[in-house]
Structure 1
């Protein structure tokens, strides 16, 4: 080394300092000189590490293969043992051969530490593959003997893409088949049913009310007819809004309480579960009301064409004409009810599809059945005569504080009723605004009473026909007579006297009439009662006409011989009594009363009514004699009907004081009546008046004035000539 070599000039202490900074205790020079060696050693270490890792992998693979083989052997042994048990050939199990312990690992070399020492490698653990998991001591030897067989969980099968594809395709095909079958069912099998159901949901059927026929008087004046109006109905399914609020708004327009409208508006189904698509709220409303409801624009409210019944006379002959009502506008009383089928016609209907807004769908289903209008009815009443008769009757009832009354005018010979008035009455244009349902009653045909003395004309006619007395004959008459223990007295004081037939009639003698009835006999008297129309309804044409009660002879009691001849123990209507006096006025021929003149069909063709039934009761001569004698109550000084005397005309008639039976007992007061005809010398018209006066009164004093006034107007109205001869004078005393 030369002096310039820096290694020679280095301080000896610098080696220690250099070594302090070299790794693994080598000097810098050693590190520099051994750089190549170091790299070789590092490469060798890496190769050895790689070889060690490869050996570990090989050992692990070998161990896994040994484990799998051992498990297969154990499974095979268990399988053999299971088959032996099943077949019954169990043999001594073969002891498993001891396994040769194999080294599960090879010696592994650690890379040399930089200090030069070698770390010994740990040998891999040998022993049971699956040691117990508990903390106890592991068994050193396996048990000998039969190995218990435990079922192993089946290993999952490997997926098959082809199989999955086939299953998916099959599922799709099934789904398509089910969908196709359902479509075929909907489109082919059930298509008609579903189409019909859908149509029903859109379909609305509304009635087309037929125009009701008119009722006219004998001169063609309309007493009742129909005009154009609207009906208001509801389709609850399409109704919008709250039913209670809507009912409160419609109530003042329809004139019905909201409590009645709300259930109709809110009920959508019938008790059977069927939908309600149409229900009337009100019929016959004014067109202006229909327009106002239409402005509500509620799809559930239906406004349709309808008609409203108009009665221009209001209460004029209301009890005879009757009224209509109900959802179908049917007749509910009088002629409206009796001839409802003829007047009503046949309703039609229209069916169409509606949208959700309630509007008809253009071009959709539409079907219309036209309504057949009703027919007209022309009655025999005369509106002007009816008005005056009704006014006179009402005045009489008010003047005498009567409870009810009736009056009528009938044409002799034809039996046509020219006027039929009843009171109390009602406004047929507003028929439901009444305080008492009795206002609907026609007292002329539906009220039966004991007729009283007006019944005596039957006894007089029978006495003449049977020859018991002559028209100018006389007979002694006592003041009273006893029949069945009851005394029957005359109202006029005459003591024991001889009375002519005219006197018996004029004074309405009870005793004289009973004596004539004794001459006739009860069987014959009963026959004459039937012949004069008692005991059965006249059939005049008013619905609900009463027949009255007529006692048969075998039912007579001890007092009947005194009561029946003078108009008691039996009942009749004033219509029956008018028909009876009409038979006397018609020369002894009974004519059935007629209210309907003829019918007119929708084409304007007239259908004549059948001729009224007629039959002779007494001879013409006896009828004419009785016509003359019946003037005595009005013309004779002692007559009971003196206040009915009419200037310029001769009247014939008979007063009566009967009784009213209520619930089987006689009511207080009297039923007073006056029935007769005019003019007496040539009878044209029968007039009958009857009122019930609870306070009592006589027939002449109560109804005589009304009888005169009605005759006076009727004779003047129809132009009957006044009498040219003075009234006859009657000698009532024999």
Structure 2
């Protein structure tokens, strides 16, 4: 007892107490740690393991390929091709030590020699010749912080495979992407338009058909290693991408190319500011060519920022408008093409004076002759009982001032004021194609009414779509409406054929009958005054078996008159069409309505 008492007293007792206290604390800490260990490994072990897995799990997007745009014969005009974005991991690159090829088959060498550098510089040396980039530039990009930097875009699969062969997994890898290619340069440049950085159509046909061309992206879920590389065998979920549908146009690439070439030559020949041409299939309303003289690379910034002139440009059609007037006169029973008129050179009506383009003696012309001679005065005389309401009605029936229905981005429908907005002069200039504006597509389809026996069909520029699984969907044909009866269309066609014969020396197509109308109109120039000229010519070929309507429009050509400038351009296009499609030559004309009396 004395011994125990001694130990519990004095310095030795204090030491014992402290030791005991420390022992108790350590024991408690051991129990706590053991409890936490049990908690971590047994109770929360599954949660921590799942969290670790989650931190390594990555879901990446698998991009769908945008559909192709092809011509009516399947010739590719726009397509997306497999490309890769090359990604570098700066953190991993800076820790890189190349493996000697004498020690391992998964090594790195340059020109058959082991590298003498390490880190980002070594990675840059390996990549530079494959990416056609300066090693210093790549090295600088890999010397930053973080684990992600874009080294190059739109890399071909061939180059990507060569990068894979460098055995730089986790340091450099490729992300699948697509590049939009246009194989025909400036052909249909602004009309095709282009896509933005995300692959969405932002102009032209790319924009029009964007929802059809765009596919649905898929995804892959897998675990990644320390440097972001995929751990083999860890793919846990995936969904395949569904590529966009292909779009087949009604455009014939060969016709489009030839028409653009002819227009460019005409622009030079006549020193014109610009030119436009449309080729339309009479029976189907399908557009075979929609061309202009703007030289814009498809897919370029210019193509994305500009609307094709063939779509956006509006103009007064000039004397081509007489076709619609005479159709209305005959349909309303006011005249026949054989009716006779005495036509002076000038006419003053309600204080307004009108004159013909060329001075002439008083003519003894039938209504067909008035159209052949393109007489403004004769047209006004023939329309004395043709009301303003009827004048407006027939223009709208022919589609003037109406949308084409093609819904092309940037398309202008022109301007046609209502009858109650016309002043005393406009109500008469309307009769010969002045006082309203149209575009080349409208004008072509309006003349196609005559070629179709008086029926207006819907135009079409997209023929069909083909889904990724090969299902073809034909574009539905729009409604057709009768504008004038068949006999009216026949009489107008007959007179238009006399017009074509009038210009046969300049605008004839050997072996084929043509029904045509020329036009010339003064329009506002850059100075705001009527200092510019529109010369146009629209024709049906062959006249005895209509296959095509062709419209040509020139701005400020030397030579002015449509029949002498736009007419010869039509003749070149018409000749090409007849040869390309092997159209049988025409029978001899025997039923011409007299043009004089």
Q: How does 1:113-512 map to 2 (within 5 A)?
A: 160-161=14-15, 163-165=17-19, 167-168=21-22, 171-172=25-26, 202-233=56-87, 282-283=153-154, 285=156, 287-288=158-159, 291=162, 295=166, 297=168, 299=170, 301-327=172-198, 329-428=199-298, 436=302, 441-481=307-347, 487-512=353-378
Q: CA deviation at 1:712?
A: 1.4
Question: Is the 1:239–1:298 Cα contact (8 Å) retained in structure 2?
Answer: no
Count of equivalent residues: 564
Structure 2: how far apart are the matches of 1:423 and 1:693?
A: 14
User: What TM-score, normalized by structure 2, do the two folds share?
Assistant: 0.80
Tell me the CA shift for residue 700 of structure 1. 1.5
Separation in 1, partners of 2:522, 2:90: 56
Given candidates 710, 713, 721, the residue that maps to 2:576 is: 713
1:629 deviates by: 0.6
1:69 corresponds to: none
Q: CA deviation at 1:718?
A: 1.7
Larger Rg: 1
1:519 is paired with a residue whose SS is coil
Question: Which 5+ residue runs of structure 1 have no aligned equivalent?
Answer: 1-155, 270-275
Q: Which whole-Å deviations, capped at 9, do the CAs of 1:164-216 have from their partners, x for residues lacking one?
A: 35653565467568767877887799988876775565444443222333333
Residue 94 of structure 2 contacts residue 142 of structure 2 at CA under 8 Å; is this kept in 1?
no
- The alpha-carbon deviation at position 559 of structure 1 amounts to 3.3
Over 3 Å counting, the alpha-carbon distance change for 1:307 and 1:614 in structure 2 is same
TM-score by length of 1: 0.66
Q: Distance in 1 between matches of 2:530 and 2:21?
A: 100
More divergent stretch after superposition (710-719 vs 695-704): 695-704
CA deviation after TM superposition for structure 1 residue 628, in Å = 0.7
Q: 1:316 to 1:350 in 2, by over 3 A?
A: same
| Matched residue SS, 2:518 | strand
Q: Alpha-carbon deviation of 1:654?
A: 0.9
Distance 1:253 1:671 in 2: 54
Q: Is the 8 A contact 1:449 1:659 kept in 2?
A: no
Cα pair 2:276 2:552 within 8 Å, conserved: yes
1:421 and 1:695 map into 2 onto residues whose CA distance is 21
Question: Which has the larger displacement, 312-321 or 547-556?
Answer: 312-321
Q: Could you say if the C-alpha distance between residues 180 and 322 of structure 1 is closer, same or farther in structure 2, counting changes exceeding 3 Å? A: farther
Go from structure 1 to structure 2 and tell me whether the alpha carbon gap of 1:535 and 1:254 turns closer, same or farther (over 3 Å shift): farther
Name the CA shift for 1:178/1:599 in 2 (closer, same or farther; >3 Å): same
Q: 2:394 aligns with which of 520, 528, 534?
A: 528
Aligned to 1:564, the other structure's residue is in SS state helix
Q: Distance in 1 between matches of 2:130 and 2:421?
A: 60
Structure 2 unaligned segments of length 5 or more: list them. Answer: 1-9, 96-118
Quote the offset at 1:653 in angstroms.
1.1
**Higher relative contact order, chain-length normalized (CA < 8 Å, sep 6+):** 2
What secondary structure does 2:320 align onto? Answer: helix
**1:24 maps to what in 2?**
none
Offset at residue 220 of structure 1 (A):
3.0
Q: 1:203 to 1:518 in 2, by over 3 A?
A: farther
Within the alignment, does 1:625 sit opposite 2:491 as a pair? yes
When the two chains are superposed, the root-mean-square deviation of aligned CA atoms in Å is 4.2
